[in-house]
Structure 1
Amino acid sequence: MAFLGWIGRAWDRIGLRPADMKLALRVTVAGFLAFVVTKVIGLPQGYWAVITAVVVTQASVGGSLKAAIERFSGTLAGAVYGGVVAAFVPHDSPAGLGLAIVVALLPLALLAAVRPAFRVAPITALIMLLPPTGQAIGPLFSAFDRVLEITLGNIVGLIVSLLVLPARAHTLMTEAAAKVVSLNAELISLFIDELTAGPKGREALQQLHPRIRAALKKAEAAADEAARERRSHLTDAADPEPLIRTLYRVRHDLVMIGRAASSPLPAPILERLGPTLTVLHERTRELLLGLAQALQHRKPPPDPGAFQAAFHAFIGATEALRSDVLMQKLPGETFGQVFALGFAFEQFKKDLGDLLARTEELALRSTPEASER
C-alpha cells in the first residue's frame, strides 16, 4: 500500500508538468524505435543507434535538430579520423595502443575545444581503438558502421521529435518569457513596498532575483533553438531575438527602479506621491500579468491604456514637486531619488511598449504548432 501511495504521489507530480511527461514519452519512443530499426536492418552494434536516438531527442524540435547536427558531425569526424589511426598506427601492444590514443586524441580534443559541436569526436575515436568489436570487424568497416548507426539514431530522434507530441521551441520560449514577465510583476510589488514601507522584503528579493535570471536564461536557450527551427524552415514564427533583447532591457529598467527604491520615501513626499504611486503599481502589475498570459497563450497583449494613464499621473505628480517649496527643504538625496524613480519608470514604459509590440507580433505570427500546448 505504501508503494502504491508513492506511485500515486509521483504520478500527481508528473501530472503537474505535462511537458516533462511528453519529453519522457518521446525519448522512450525514440529509443525503442531505433532498437527496432537496427534489428530489422541487422546492424552488428545497434546499441549506438539507440543511444543516439535518446541523446538527440530534446525538449523541442530545435533542440533535437541541434543535438542531431552536433552528434553527427562529431561522430563523423571521430569515426573517420579514428578509423584512419586504427588502420595505420599499430596498436596491438600496450605501447602501440598508448601511442595511437595520443595520436587520435590530440587533434580531436583540440577541435572539440575550439568547436564544442565536435565534443563527441574524441570519444568516438577512442571507441574505434578500444573495443574488441572494432578490431574484430576491421577499422574501416567499424568506422562506417559507427557513422551509419549514429545517422540512424539521429533520423529516428528527429522523426520522433517532429511527430510524437512535438514541442516547438517557440512555445517553450514564450512560456519562459511569460514566467519572466510574471516574476517581474512580483518584483515591482516588492519595490513599491520598499518605497512605501521600508526595506522589509530583502529576503524575498534575494530569492526572486535568481528565479528571474534562471527564467531569462531558459528563455534565451529556447530562443536559440527557436532560431534554429526558423532557419531550418520548420516554423514560420516570428524572429525570437527581439523578444529576448526586450526582456533584458525591461530587466535593466527594473534594476534601475530597484536602485531608486532602495530606501523609503520621506513621509512628506510619500503623502504627495503615494496615491499616484499606488495606482501606478496596481496598473503595472495588472499589465505585466496580462502580458504573461498573452505570451503563454500566444494571444494579443492587453490594452496598456490604464497603465499609461497611471504613469502620466505619477510623472505629473513628480514634476509638480520640482518647484515646490517642500522639495527645497529636503536633502538633495531625496530630490535625486524622486526624479531617478521618474526617469527609471520612463525607460520602463518605453521598453514595456516594445514588449507589447513583440507580444503582438508573436500573436499575429502564431501557428497551430506553436500554440498546441
Structure 2
Amino acid sequence: MALPGWIERIGDRIGARSAELKLALRVTIAGTLAYVVTRILDLPQGYWAVITAVVVMQASVGASLKAAVERFSGTLAGAIYGGLVAAFVPHNSPLSLGVAIVVALFPLALLAAVKPAFRVAPITSLIMLLPPTGQAIGPLASAFDRVLEITLGNIVGVVVSLFILPARAHVLLTDAAARVVSLNAELFSIFMAELTASPQGRSALQKLHPQIRSALKKAEAAAEEATRERRSHLTEAPDPEPLIRTLYRVRHDLVMIGRASSSPLPAPARDKLSPSLMALHEATQRLLLDLAQALQHRKAPPEPAAFEDALSAFSTEAEALRTDALIHELPGKTFGQIFALGFAFEQFRQDLGDLLERTEELSLRRGAADTESHQRAA
C-alpha cells in the first residue's frame, strides 16, 4: 500500500537532514543526562555541567573530543588562576574589584589570544570573582567545584557522542570528499563544453568554484577530527591526510585544464579532436560520479579502464595533428593549447589514480572492520 504523498515528502526531508536530527538528539540526551547526574551528586552549580555537555556535543566524535579538551583545559587554567586571584587580591570595594578583574583577565586573555584552546579561561577566571556562590563557600572551594562540574559535563558529552548515534569523523570526511568529487565532475563537464562548443561565458563557474572550496574546507576539517579520533584509538580508519592531499592535487589539475580550455579550439582542430574529447568527457564524468558514490559508501572504487582508453585515444589524436597539413595553417597558440591540455590531462590521470587508491584503502579498512565485528558477534 502506497503512502500518501505528504508523508513521503516529510520522510524525504527527514532523510535529507538525518545527520542534523541525530546531532540534535545527542545534544538533548547529553544535556538531560548531565542534569540527572548533577542532581544525583547534588552539585551546587550543576548547571555548568549541563551547559558543558551541550557545548561539547559536536557533529562527530573527534570534534567532541576537541571541544571537551579545550573546554577542560580552559576551565582548569581559568579556575586555578581565578581562584588564586580571588584568594589573594582584595576585591571587597568597587575599586579593588576593578583592579582584581584586570589582574584576573589580562594574562588569560593574552593566553587565549596566543592559544585559542584556552578561550574559556578568561571567562572562568572572571566568574571566580563574581558569583555569590564563590564568595559564600570560598574561592578555592568554588574553583574545585567549577572544575568538577565542567569535567562531569565533558565526560557526559563525550560518552553520549561515543554511544548515542555516533557520527565518526572519517564518515563525515568521506561524505565531504564525495561531494568534492561530484562537483569536480560538473566542473570537468563545463571545461569540455567550452573546448568543443562556442563560448557561452563562465557564469556557472562563479557558483561552482565556491561550492568546491566549501566542500574542500569541510573535508579538511573532518580530516582534522578524524586524526584526533585515530590518536585517541577510537577508530582504525586510515590516515586521512593522504586523501586530503590528493583531493587538492586533483583540484589543481582541474584548474590547469580550465586554463587550457578557457577558449574553444579553432574549427579544424575541433573537428579532429571533438570525437576523442567527447569520449573522454563521458568516461571521465562517469568515473568521477562512480568514484563519488564509492567514497560516500566506502566501497571499492570503479575501474578506470574506460577513462584510460579515452585519454589514450585523445593523446593519439593530438599527436596525429602534428602531421596534418590543415592544422599547420593554425596559429602557434593552438598547438600550445593542445599541448597544455595533454599535459594537464596526464597530471589529472596520475592524481586521479592516487585518489582511486585512497578510496580502495578506505573500502578495505571498512571491510576488515565489518569482518571483525561479525566475528565478535558470532
Q: Which residue of 2 aligns with 1:259?
A: 259
Asked if 1:56 is matched to 2:56, the reply is yes
**Letter matched to residue 76 of structure 2:** L
Q: CA deviation at 1:320?
A: 1.3
Is contact 1:290–1:301 with CA below 8 Å preserved after alignment? yes
Q: Residue deviations 1:256-303, cap 9 Å, x none? A: 000011001111101000000000000000000010000000101000
Contact 2:268 2:327 in 1 (8 A): no
Q: Within 2, Cα distance between the matches of 1:195 and 1:133?
A: 72
Quote the offset at 1:101 in angstroms.
1.1
1:125 aligns with 2:125: yes
State the Cα deviation string for residues 168-198 of structure 1 (Å, max 9, x = none).
Answer: 0000000000000000000000111111123
Matched, 1:105 2:109: no
Q: Structure 1 pair 9/312, CA: closer, same or farther in 2 (3 Å)?
A: closer
Counterpart for residue 319 of structure 1 = 319
Letter in 2 for 1:65: L
Contact 1:260 1:340 in 2 (8 A): yes
Q: Is the 8 A contact 1:190 1:201 kept in 2?
A: no
Which amino acid in 1 is paired with 2:75?
Answer: T
Using the TM superposition, give the Cα deviation of residue 319 of structure 1 relative to its aligned residue in structure 2, in angstroms: 1.2
How much is the aligned-residue C-alpha RMSD, in angstroms?
1.8
SS in 1 for 2:171: helix
Name the structure 1 match of 2:344: 344
Verify: 1:282 aligned to 2:282, yes or no: yes
TM-score of the superposition, structure 1-length normalised? Answer: 0.95
- Answer whether contact 1:101 1:126 (CA < 8 A) is retained: yes
* Secondary structure of 2:326's aligned partner: helix
Distance 1:142 1:196 in 2: 73
Do the aligned partners of 2:35 and 2:50 also contact (CA within 8 Å) in 1? Answer: yes
- Unpaired stretches in structure 1, ≥5 consecutive residues: 1-5
User: Which residue is 1:3 aligned to?
Assistant: none
In structure 2, the gaps of 5 or more residues are 1-5, 374-378
**Counterparts of 1:92 and 1:177, CA distance in 2:** 57
* Superposition deviation, residue 131 in structure 1: 2.0
Tell me the number of residue pairs that the alignment of Structure 1 and Structure 2 aligns. Answer: 365
Tell me the equivalent position of 2:178: 178
Q: Equivalent residues in 2 for 1:219-298 (5 A)?
A: 219-298=219-298
TM-score by length of 2: 0.93
Listed as ranges, the matches of 1:119-158 within 5 Å are 119-158=119-158
Deviation at 1:8, TM superposition (A): 11
2:234 partner letter: L
Amino acid at match of 2:262: S
Counterpart in the other structure of 1:161: 161
Answer whether contact 1:128 1:139 (CA < 8 A) is retained.
yes
Aligned letter for 2:167?
A
Contact 1:14 1:20 in 2 (8 A): no
Shift in Å at residue 13 of structure 1?
A: 3.5
Q: Which runs of 4+ in 1 moved over 3 A?
A: 6-15
Tell me, in whole angstroms, the C-alpha distance in 2 between the residues paired with 1:359 and 1:8.
33
Q: Write the deviation string for residues 21-46 of structure 1: whole angstroms up to 9, x where unpaired.
A: 00000000000000000000000001
Deviation at 1:12, TM superposition (A): 5.9
